[in-house]
Amino acid sequence: MHIQKIIDDGTLWLTLSNPEQMNCLGLAEYNGLADAIIEASADDSLDVIAITGSGRAFCTGGNLKEIQAEQAKGELPGKLVVQKFADASLRLFQSMESTSKTVVAIVNGHCHAGGLSIVLSADISLASDRADFCIPEAKVGLADPYAPLRLGRAVGLPMARWMMYTADRITATKALEISLVNKVVPHDTLAEQARSLVRQVQRTAPTSRAIFKRCLNTDLPAFNREAMIAANASPDAVEGLKAFVARRDPVWPSRPLRANKPNINP
């Protein structure tokens, strides 16, 4: 499991520590983060949970190679493999939203797919000016219902549609402009600014923050687990994962057949 845990002055610092794979999340990481947050929720000595990454990436989402490898083993039907990963990811996001602790995302670099869902699940986000943000699932045939449920609420439907339908990357400056993150700071000052932000949060009353969080999250839409499993076990998803591992362009089974161009010659 590639997660470092440090407790310091009432804060649980969780650092994703797999920089060689851009801090992608396998089953161990999804469940490890969720377990740490659930344990922290029951610890009265902890007030804040801060999540960051090591190296050039904050988090680039699920480990697609691990998913494809599990499916290739054939020990479980492909849909059950997807179900395992879906349940693990939803468990993480739900633990972040349900904990009474204040969760701060410290975005040090690339923040894609499930990494962006971590930011959307956090209460406050601080980003390096080197960070970038992207929802690339459709490029590999996947569809995470979590992002649509939260992204439109954060940035508005037009921008959410743009990010999901095009898989376009946006800069930290743009992320701040559309209210995807709360603050952007120079990369070299990120660690110092993160500690300062945590101290500022801790100067406010934990009970007040917990009540604010409960009220703010009251109208959050429920996750659609069945939609996630169905989408991520589709023929497009199977082809997308194979193409990703093989480093080739996918050929989408669901793409409409192109009609032959009419012969316009006389």
> DSSP secondary structure string, 180-230?
SSSEEE-GGGHHHHHHHHHHHHHTS-HHHHHHHHHHHTTTPPPP-HHHHHH
Write down the mean pLDDT value for the chain: 91
Among 15, 36, 196, which residue's Cα sits nearest to residue 107? 15
Greatest mean pLDDT among 79-83, 113-117, 148-152 lies in: 113-117
- How far CA 227 is from CA of 58, 73, 147, 150, 159, in Å, comes to 27, 24, 13, 15, 22
> Do β-strands 11-16 and 48-53 pair in parallel, antiparallel, or remain unpaired?
parallel
**Residues 215-227, mean pLDDT to the nearest whole number:** 82
Among 150, 168, 127, which residue's Cα sits nearest to residue 223? 150
3-216: CATH topology: 2-enoyl-CoA Hydratase; Chain A, domain 1 (3.90.226)
**What is this structure's pTM?**
0.91
CA geometry: angle 229, 223, 151, nearest 5 deg: 105
Residue 96: φ, ψ to 5°: -70, -40
Q: Residue 224 has what pLDDT? A: 72
Tokens of 19: 């920089």
User: What is the arrangement of strands in the sheet containing 110-112, beginning at the earlier edge strand?
Assistant: 57-59, 110-112, 132-134, 170-171
> Do β-strands 3-8 and 11-16 pair in parallel, antiparallel, or remain unpaired?
antiparallel
Q: Residue 266 has what pLDDT? A: 46
Greatest mean pLDDT among 72-76, 148-152, 166-170, 258-262 lies in: 166-170
**Residues 7-36, mean pLDDT to the nearest whole number:** 97
Among 27, 1, 146, which residue's Cα sits nearest to residue 80? 27
CA 82, CA 78: separation in Å to the nearest integer?
A: 6
Among 207, 261, 198, 148, which residue's Cα sits nearest to residue 6? 198
With the C-alpha atoms ordered 178, 179, 180, 186, is the resulting torsion angle positive or negative? positive
**Residues 6-25, mean pLDDT to the nearest whole number:** 98
Q: Which of 58-67, 156-165, 205-214, 255-264 has the lowest mean pLDDT?
A: 255-264
First to last CA, the chain: 67
**Residues 14-37, mean pLDDT to the nearest whole number:** 97
Q: Does the pLDDT value for residue 110 go beyond 80? A: yes
Q: Which residues contact 227 (CB under 8 A, 6 or more apart)?
A: 143, 145
pLDDT tens digits, 139-168 = 988 887 778 889 999 999 999 999 999 999
